[in-house]
Structure 1
Amino acid sequence: MNWLIVKNDFKRNKIINTALLLFMMFSACLAVLSAIMAVQTITSISDLYETAQPPHFLQMHKGEINQEQIDDFMSDYSGITYFQTIKMINIYGEDITVDNDEKTFNLSDTRLDIGLVKQNEEKDLLLNSKHEKVELQEGEIGVPVILKGMYHMEIGDEIILNSNDISMEFVITEFVLDAQMNSTMASSTRFLLSDVDYGKIEDRVGENEYLIEAYFTDTSEASNFQTAYENANLPQNGQAVTYAMIFILSALTDIVTVFVMLLVSLLLIIVSFICVRFTIIASLEEEIREIGTMKAIGIPFLDIRNIYLNKYRLLAIAGVISGYILAFLMSGIFTNHINTTFGNMKISNLAAILSLGVGLIVYFLIIVYCKSVLKKLKRVTVVDALTMGNGFDKDTKGIRNGLYKSKSLSVNWLLGVREVFYKFKNWIIIYVVLIIAVLMILIPVNLLNTFESPEFITYMGSSADDILIEVENGERLEEGYKNVRNILKNDDSIKHFYEYRRIRVQTFDAENETMNLHIDCGVNSGNELKYLSGAAPKKENEIAISYFNAGKIGKNPGDKIVLIFGGNKKEFVVSGVYQDVTSGGFTAKSIYDFHSLDSEKYSFSVNLKDEVKIEEKAKEWSEILGSGINVDPMEDFINQTLGGVSRQLRIIVISTAIVAVSIAVIITVMFLKLRLAKDLSEIAILKAIGFSERDIKQQYMIKIGIVSIMGILSGIILNNLIGEKIVNATLSIAGIGIREVQLISNFLVEFVLCPIVLIGLILIATAILMKTIKKYNIVSIINE
C-alpha cells in the first residue's frame, strides 16, 4: 500500500517531485564536492611533500657564504636530521624568451624572481605530475607549472636564454612541481636544467643565490631554529621561510574555493528544506479529508506519518546517491587546479569515505527535517479535517481590507498588493528563496572583488599606493636604496612617497623565550593597514604588531613590550594589531628609526600626480634602476600575487551565480504551479464575475513582482549585515594571517545587475506559466 501511495504521488506531481529531487541532488553534490576538495587539497599537498621533501626551514641568501660556518652551526643544533645548501642562478624575466607556434615573448612582466637550478639528490626535489623525480637530458628544461597557465606554454615550446652575452636554447619537456615555490604568493620560482647545462652557465650568467635548508624531526621546531639561526649571524640576505608558511601559501587558492563551495552547499540545503516544507504542507492540505478519515478509523500518527515520509525517504535516497555520483563525475573540473599544482592524483580513499559520510549527513538532515514538519499531523483533529476541511490553518480572523480605500491603485494592483501584505505567509517561500539566491551571488562576488581590489594590499602589510618599489637583499642593498631615493626625490611626477626599512630586534614570546621580531620602520609605517584592534603607531615608543605576532608574543594594544637591540633594551607600547599575509604573517611596524641597526630590506610606496600614467612610470624607473630592484604598479603586484586565487574563485563565482538564478526561477515555477492548483476556485470566481485572463495574469505578476523585490532587497541588506561575518569566521579558521576583511561590493552587480536579472527571469517564467489559466473551465471548477 505504501509503495502504491508513493507511486501515485510521483505520477500526480511529476514536476514538483522532480524539482525537489534536483535540489536534494545538487545540495548533496556540492556538499560532497566540498569534502572531496578539502581532503584532496590536504592529501595532494601531503603526498607531494612526502616525495619532494621541501625544507622545514629555508633561508635564501644573495652574496658570498661561508659553507663551513653553516655546516658547523647545523651540526651543533640538536633536532636537525638533514641540511643542505643549494646554489640557484638568478636571472631576469627579460633574459628568457619563449618561442611557440603562436608567438614569441619574454617573461619581463613577471614579478617572480626566476632561478635556474639542477636537480637535488635526496630532498627538495622537483617532480613531474606523477610525483616522480625529474631527470633531464642536455638541451631540455623543466618549467614551473605555475607559469604554464600564466603564459600558456606547452610541452615542445622553445626557451631561449640570453644573458651576459651567452645564448642557449632549450626545449620544454616537463612542467615541474615545486613543493616550496608553487604559489604566485611566493617571491621566487625555479626552472630545472640538466646537470650538463647547469655546469655550462654556472658563475657565467645571472647572480648566485643560496638556499640554505634544514630539516627536523618535528616541523614546529622551524620557528625556534629561525631565531637561533638569525642570532648566529649566518647568511640571511633574503627571505626566510618555514614549513608552515610554505603549506599555507600552497593551499590558499583551494582553501578559498572550498569555503565558497561549502557556503553554497549550505544555502542549497536550506533551499531544499524550504521546498520540502512547502511540498509537504501542500500535500497535507490537499489530502486533509483523507488524513481525517485515516484518523477516524484509528490509524496511529506514526503510520500516517510514514505514508508521507516514505516518499521523502525515496527522494532523499535518490537525491543523495545521484548527487554523490554527480560529485565524483564533476570532481575533475573542481580539482583541476589541485591536480595542476600538486600533481595528477586519483581521488583518495579518505576523500571517498569522508564524502560518503557527508552525503549521509545530508540525507539524515533532510529526513529529520521532514519528520519535524510532519508533526503537524498530530494537531489535526478528525472534526476539523472532515467537516471543515481545515486542519492546518485555523486562523478565523476576517480579512483586513483597508486597501480598498486607495483611489490611486487599479483593481488588479489592489488585489495583488492586498494578497501579498495580508497573506504574506502564503508567499514567504519565494521571499526566503530569493534572499538565499542573492546571498549565493553577492557573498562570492564581493569576496572576488576584495581579492582583486588594490585595497587588498593593506592585508599584505603595505599601504594602497600607486607603485611599490622593493630593494632586494644583497651586497648592493645600500647602493640600490640610494639610487631609488635619488630618482624619487628628483622626479616632478610624484605627489609623495614614503620609505621603509626592515630591521631585526629581539623580544620575548608569551612563554618568556627569546624570539626575533622583524620591524618595518618609517615615518608612515603602519598607516592605512587594516587593524583588528588599536591603531597605527604615532609616537616613537609605539609599535604595531601583526595578528600572528600578537598571538605568539601574547600582547594586546596598550600592553608594554621590551625590544632588545644593539646591546640595549627599550620599552615600547603596542599601539595596534594589524593583519598581514606576508613573511608568514610575522611582522611589525614602528616609526622609530632604529638607526644603530643594519637594514635587511628597503621598500618605497609612491603616489603619482593624477595625470601621470602609472604603468609607463613604473617601466621607466625599472629600466633606469636595473637589476636587483622590483618596481611594480600596485595593481599588477596584486594581480600576479593573487592571480591564481582570483582565477579559481572567478570560475566558482560564475557557476554559483548561474545556480542561484536557476534555483530562483525553478522554485518560482514550482511554487506557482502549486499556488494555481490551490487557487482554482478563486480563479474561477474571478473569471465568473468578469475578470479577464489578462487581469488574473497581471494580478499574479504583481504578487510575484512585489515579493521578489522584497526578497532581493532583504537579501542585499542581509548580505551587508552578515556577509563579512561569514567570510571572517572562515578566515579565522583558515589561519592565513587574516582574521577580518572588509568585503568590497560592486555597486553595479549588487544594486543593478543582480536585481534586474533575477526579477526579469522570474517575471518571464511567471508570464509563461500563467498562460496555462486559459485551460481552466469555469463551470467544471465551480462544480468541483
Structure 2
Amino acid sequence: MAVILKLGHSYLRKNKTQNLFIALLILLSTLLVCTSVIILANTGNQFKEMHSRTNGSHQILTFDKGLNDPQTVYDWWAAQNGVQISPLLAYRTLSGITFEGKDIANLYLYMMNTTPPPWKVDQLLFASGQESSTPAQGSVWIPTSMANSYNITVGDTVHFKTGTAVLHLTVSAVVIDVPYGAPFTNTARIWMHPTDYENDFGTFAGKEHYMMGMHFDDYDSHSSYWDRYTTETGAPFLESIMDFESISSFYLIINQMIGFIMIFLGVVMLLIALITIGFTLSDAILANYKTIGILKSLGLTSRHIVSTYVVQYALLSIIAVLPGLVLSMFVSRFIIRISVSSLQTDHAHLVIEGIGMAVFSGLLLLVLIIGFIVIYASKTRMIEPAQAIRYGMSERDNMRLAGRMNSPLANRVLFGRFPVSWVIGLRNLIKNRKSSVLMLLLTMTAASVLVFGYVVLSSINGIDRTAAKWGYDNANIAAIVVDKMTFSRAEMQHVLEEDSRITAVGWRGNVTGITLIPSDVSSDAASQSFSLNLSVLDGRYTDFGFETLRGHNPERVNEISIGVNAAKRLNKQLGDLIELYIEGEKRTFIISGIYQAISNMSLSGRITAEAVRSVNPDYDDADVAFINIIKPSQAEVIAAQLNERFKASASIVTQKMLLDSLYAEAAHILMYPMALFGLLFILVTFIIIFITCRISIRKESRTYGIHKSIGMTSGRIRSSITLGVAGLSLIGSTFGVFVGMYLLPLLLEKVLSGYGIVQIPLVLNWGGMLLIACLGMLAAVIGCWLASREIRQMSPRMLVIE
C-alpha cells in the first residue's frame, strides 16, 4: 500500500498543472450537471407552490361580451360541490399608462374594484408594501410582472389615461397576482380602492364588466362540470374562458427552455469530461509505459499498478466534485430567482428543491469517473515488461504507428509537398489520432453551444423581423384603442386614407368562439366545450403579414384558420368543418389554414369581419388598427405624428416597440444562463486542448529535440503545432456552426411545441455566428500555444542522447 500511495503522490506532483486542469474540468462538469438537475427539479415547483398557496384559479371567466348574465353564472357555480369561486369582480379596461414621463405601450389594464377579503380563490400576496384589506384612497396595488418589467416600486406615481382625463395614483403595494402576473405578459390587474373606482369611473361612458376565478378540487373533472352547465342552461358558456394551461404557460416556458438547455449541455459536458479523463489516463499509461514495464519486472503486480492510477484520479475527483456541488447550489439559485422573479416577495426566502437529487448526481458522477478510471487503468494488465522496455509501447502498437507515419500517402502526397512547418503540425495530428478526434469533437461542441445560444438570443431580440412566424402581424404600425367611448374609428380612418404615406389599413377585434370537443377525441364520454379566442380582421390577413404553416388565412365568410394546438385538441385538419358558437349563434366554418402562435398557446383562430357580421350586422368592435406604410423607415415618425393627434383615445406605436415591450424581459432572463454556458464551454475547450497538447508534446519530446538540434527554433516548432491545432479547430467549428444553427433548435422545438411553436423562427446573423464560433477556436489556439511552452525548456543535447 505504501508503494501505491508513493507512486500516486509522485504522479500528482510530477504533472501539477495537468492534474489541476483535470480537477477543474471535473469541477465544471459537476457544476453544470448538478445545476441542471436542481433547475429541472424546480421547474414549475415555484409556480405550483404559489398557485397552491394562493388557492389560484384553474379557470378565469371574463364577462366582456354581454352574452351571459354574470350573476346567473356566478350563482350556478356557487351551488356546485368541489368548486371554489372568487367574488364577482367588477372592472373597467384601460390601455394607456405613463410612468416617469414615458408612455408604456402594449400594456392592457383591468382596473379592478377591490373586494375586501376573505377570498376563497386567487388570494393576493404582498411582495412589497404595507399589507391591508384594500388599497388606500389615491393608491393602487400593481402585480409583480408590471413592477419588474418597468422598474416600478412602492411610492411611485403612475399616470393612467382614461380618454380625456388622467388618473394620478400612487403605488402602495406590489402584489403577486397569479392569473395575471406571469412574466412578459401584456395584461395586468390594477387594484383600486372602491371609492376611487366609483369616483374615477362613475362619470365615464362605457360599460362595467365582471370576471371570476374558479378553483376545482380535481381539475381533471372540470369538463364534466361544463357538460352539466350546458345541459342545465340549454347553451354553452359564450363568454371568455382562460384555462389553467394558459395561466401557467408563461410561468413555465422560460424554465422549460433553461432546463432543456442545461440538461442537454450537462450530459454533453459529462461525456466530454469522461472521455477526456479516459484519454488522459490512456496517454499517462503510454507515457509511463517503460516505467510500468520496469516496475512489473521488479515484481509489482498489475493490481498494484491499477490501484496507483485509481488512487491518483479518485483523489482529484473527490477534491473537484465537492466544490462543484456547492457552487451549483448558488448558480441554480441565481438562475431560478431571475426566472421566477414575479413569484418572489421581499420578505420570503427562496426555497430550492432538488438538493438531494443534486448530491446524488454528484456522487453518481464520482462513481462514473472512478469506474472509467478503473476501466482504462486495467489496460496496464496487458503490458509486457520486455516490449515496454524496448519500444515504450506494445510491439503491435509500435508497428502500427510506424506504418501510419511511413505510409506512401504521408510521405509522398502530404509530407513531401508541404512546407516543414505544415508537416510538423500535420504529423502531430496524424500520430496522435485519439487526441485529434477529441479536439475535433470538442471544438465542434463548443462552437455549436455558442452558436445555439447566440441564435436563440438573436431570434428573441429580433422577433420584430420574424413576427409573422410567431403568430403576430407584420404591419409597420399599430394603433391601439385606449378609450372606446371617446375613440372615433371614422375619424382615424379618414385621417389614414388622406395620408399618402400609408398604403393599407386593417381593423382587428376579438370575439370568443365556443365549440365542442367530440367524445372520441376527449377522454370523457361526453363532448367538452372548448373556448377559442378568435381574431376578427376587417381586411385581408395577407396584407398585414399573417402567416400559416399549412393552407391559407380566411378570405371568405365561411373560412377559418386555427392554431396548431387547437387543431390538435379538436383533431382537425385542412378542409375539415368546425362548428362555432359566436355571440350565441352557431356557424359552420371550413378550416382553410393552420398556423403557429405563441400567444394563447395556439389555442386560437382567425376569421373575417364578414363572418361576425353574418351574426351581428352592427359589429364594429375593433381595438387595433394595423397600418402599412410605403417607407418602413418612416414608421417611428408617422407613429409619433398620429399618436400626438389621437393620444386622448389611442396609443399608436411601431410594431418593433410593441414586441420589444413583450420579449425584452425574456431575452434578459435567458442571457445570463446562456452566457454562463458559453463561458464554461470556452473554458473547457481551453483546458482539454491544453491537456491533450501537453501530453502529445511530452510524448514527442525526443522528436522536437532533434528538430532543435538541426536548427529549428522553439518558436517555429510551437507555431507549427499550433497551426495544426488551429486548422483542426477550424474544421470542428465549421461543423459546430451548422449543428448549433439547425440541429439543436430542432431539439428545442420539442419543448416549445406544447406552447404553440412547432417551428422556431430563427434570426441568423452570419457575421455574429462566425464571430462567436471563433471564440472556441481562439480558446483552442491559446491552449495549444501555452501547452507548447515546454518546448522552450527542452535541451536538444539531452533529448538526442535520450
- Fold conserved (TM > 0.5)? yes
After superposition, give the CA deviation of every residue in 1:457-505 in whole Å (9 maximum; x if it has no partner). 3354223332344568x9769x866555544444322233445554525
Query: Do the aligned residues in 2 keep the contact of 1:40 with 1:348 (CA within 8 Å)?
Result: no
> For structure 1, which segment, 150-159 or 436-445, has the greater mean C-alpha deviation from structure 2 after superposition?
150-159
Listed as ranges, the matches of 1:586-735 within 5 Å are 586-590=603-607, 593-594=610-611, 595-598=613-616, 603-610=624-631, 613-625=634-646, 631-732=652-753, 735=754
Partner of 2:241: 240
Partner of 2:274: 273
2:482 matches 1:461: no
SS at match of 2:365: helix
**Structure 1 residues 202, 481: closer, same or farther in 2, change over 3 A?**
closer
Unmatched runs of 5 consecutive residues or more in structure 2: none
Partner of 2:460: 451
Query: Do the aligned residues in 2 keep the contact of 1:84 with 1:214 (CA within 8 Å)?
Result: no
Query: Do the aligned residues in 2 keep the contact of 1:724 with 1:742 (CA within 8 Å)?
Result: no
**Structure 1 residues 74, 481: closer, same or farther in 2, change over 3 A?**
farther
Partner of 2:217: 217
SS at match of 2:189: strand
Partner of 1:177: 176
- Cα drift, residue 571 of structure 1: 6.2
- Cα drift, residue 27 of structure 1: 2.0
Match of 1:58 among 57, 60, 78: 60
CA RMSD of aligned residues (A): 3.9
**Residue type of the partner of 2:755?**
I
**Residue type of the partner of 2:217?**
T
Q: Give, in whole Å, the separation in 2 of the partners of 1:418 and 1:13.
A: 25
Match of 1:506 among 484, 504, 515: 515
Listed as ranges, the matches of 1:557-576 within 5 Å are 557=574, 559=576, 561=578, 570=588, 572=590, 574-576=591-593
Partner of 2:756: 737
**Residue type of the partner of 2:631?**
D
2:794 matches 1:776: yes
Partner of 1:260: 261
Match of 1:39 among 38, 41, 44: 41
Partner of 1:101: none
Query: Do the aligned residues in 2 keep the contact of 1:93 with 1:114 (CA within 8 Å)?
Result: no
2:452 matches 1:439: no
Query: Do the aligned residues in 1 keep the contact of 2:549 with 2:596 (CA within 8 Å)?
Result: yes
**Residue type of the partner of 2:797?**
V
Query: Do the aligned residues in 1 keep the contact of 2:128 with 2:173 (CA within 8 Å)?
Result: no
2:403 matches 1:397: yes
> For structure 1, which segment, 424-433 or 186-195, has the greater mean C-alpha deviation from structure 2 after superposition?
186-195
Listed as ranges, the matches of 1:112-151 within 5 Å are 112-113=108-109, 115-118=111-114, 120-121=116-117, 122=119, 123-129=121-127, 135=133, 136-138=135-137, 141-151=140-150
Partner of 1:100: none
Query: Do the aligned residues in 1 keep the contact of 2:452 with 2:741 (CA within 8 Å)?
Result: no
Listed as ranges, the matches of 1:515-554 within 5 Å are 515-520=530-535, 524-525=540-541, 543-554=560-571
Q: What's the % identity of the aligned pairs?
A: 16
- Cα drift, residue 429 of structure 1: 2.3
Q: Give, in whole Å, the separation in 1 of the partners of 2:377 and 2:115.
A: 66
**Structure 1 residues 737, 186: closer, same or farther in 2, change over 3 A?**
same
After superposition, give the CA deviation of every residue in 1:584-627 in whole Å (9 maximum; x if it has no partner). 43112356942413467565443321265222323444454556
After superposition, give the CA deviation of every residue in 1:489-541 in whole Å (9 maximum; x if it has no partner). 44322233445554525354324545444444556448966656566567776
Partner of 2:91: 88
SS at match of 2:354: helix
SS at match of 1:685: helix
SS at match of 2:88: strand
SS at match of 1:719: helix
2:41 matches 1:20: no
Query: Do the aligned residues in 2 keep the contact of 1:40 with 1:338 (CA within 8 Å)?
Result: no
**Residue type of the partner of 1:776?**
M
Query: Do the aligned residues in 2 keep the contact of 1:665 with 1:761 (CA within 8 Å)?
Result: yes
Q: Give, in whole Å, the separation in 2 of the partners of 1:113 and 1:341.
A: 17
Partner of 2:420: 411
Partner of 2:315: 314
Q: Give, in whole Å, the separation in 1 of the partners of 2:173 and 2:587.
A: 53
> For structure 1, which segment, 491-500 or 736-745, has the greater mean C-alpha deviation from structure 2 after superposition?
491-500
**Structure 1 residues 643, 112: closer, same or farther in 2, change over 3 A?**
farther
Match of 1:555 among 540, 548, 572: 572
The two structures have a TM-score, normalised by structure 2, of 0.84
Query: Do the aligned residues in 1 keep the contact of 2:223 with 2:528 (CA within 8 Å)?
Result: no
SS at match of 2:471: coil
Query: Do the aligned residues in 2 keep the contact of 1:129 with 1:340 (CA within 8 Å)?
Result: no
Query: Do the aligned residues in 1 keep the contact of 2:145 with 2:184 (CA within 8 Å)?
Result: no
**Structure 1 residues 297, 769: closer, same or farther in 2, change over 3 A?**
closer
SS at match of 1:335: helix
Partner of 2:502: 494
- Cα drift, residue 407 of structure 1: 8.6
> For structure 1, which segment, 549-558 or 676-685, has the greater mean C-alpha deviation from structure 2 after superposition?
549-558
- Cα drift, residue 325 of structure 1: 0.6
Listed as ranges, the matches of 1:272-311 within 5 Å are 272-292=273-293, 304-311=305-312
Match of 2:597 among 563, 569, 580: 580
Q: Give, in whole Å, the separation in 1 of the partners of 2:478 and 2:219.
A: 34
SS at match of 1:129: strand
> For structure 1, which segment, 505-514 or 132-141, has the greater mean C-alpha deviation from structure 2 after superposition?
132-141
Query: Do the aligned residues in 2 keep the contact of 1:128 with 1:134 (CA within 8 Å)?
Result: no
**Structure 1 residues 632, 222: closer, same or farther in 2, change over 3 A?**
farther
**Residue type of the partner of 1:151?**
Y
Query: Do the aligned residues in 1 keep the contact of 2:128 with 2:174 (CA within 8 Å)?
Result: no
Query: Do the aligned residues in 2 keep the contact of 1:267 with 1:440 (CA within 8 Å)?
Result: no
Query: Do the aligned residues in 1 keep the contact of 2:536 with 2:607 (CA within 8 Å)?
Result: yes
Q: Give, in whole Å, the separation in 1 of the partners of 2:653 and 2:223.
A: 31
Q: Give, in whole Å, the separation in 1 of the partners of 2:381 and 2:679.
A: 40
**Residue type of the partner of 2:326?**
I
Partner of 2:365: 362
After superposition, give the CA deviation of every residue in 1:424-451 in whole Å (9 maximum; x if it has no partner). 4442222221111112211111111112
Unmatched runs of 5 consecutive residues or more in structure 1: 98-103
Listed as ranges, the matches of 1:317-328 within 5 Å are 317-328=318-329
**Residue type of the partner of 2:446?**
A
**Structure 1 residues 621, 73: closer, same or farther in 2, change over 3 A?**
farther
**Residue type of the partner of 2:451?**
L
SS at match of 1:88: strand
Equivalences, count: 769
Listed as ranges, the matches of 1:194-205 within 5 Å are 194=193, 201=200, 203=202
**Structure 1 residues 73, 485: closer, same or farther in 2, change over 3 A?**
farther
**Residue type of the partner of 2:274?**
F
**Residue type of the partner of 1:210?**
Y
**Structure 1 residues 783, 622: closer, same or farther in 2, change over 3 A?**
same
**Structure 1 residues 513, 404: closer, same or farther in 2, change over 3 A?**
closer
Q: Give, in whole Å, the separation in 2 of the partners of 1:383 and 1:534.
A: 75
**Residue type of the partner of 2:127?**
S
The two structures have a TM-score, normalised by structure 1, of 0.86
**Structure 1 residues 140, 312: closer, same or farther in 2, change over 3 A?**
farther
- Cα drift, residue 56 of structure 1: 1.9
After superposition, give the CA deviation of every residue in 1:40-91 in whole Å (9 maximum; x if it has no partner). 3422212222232332221334587854333344346665332421123444
SS at match of 1:555: coil
Q: Give, in whole Å, the separation in 1 of the partners of 2:610 and 2:382.
A: 76
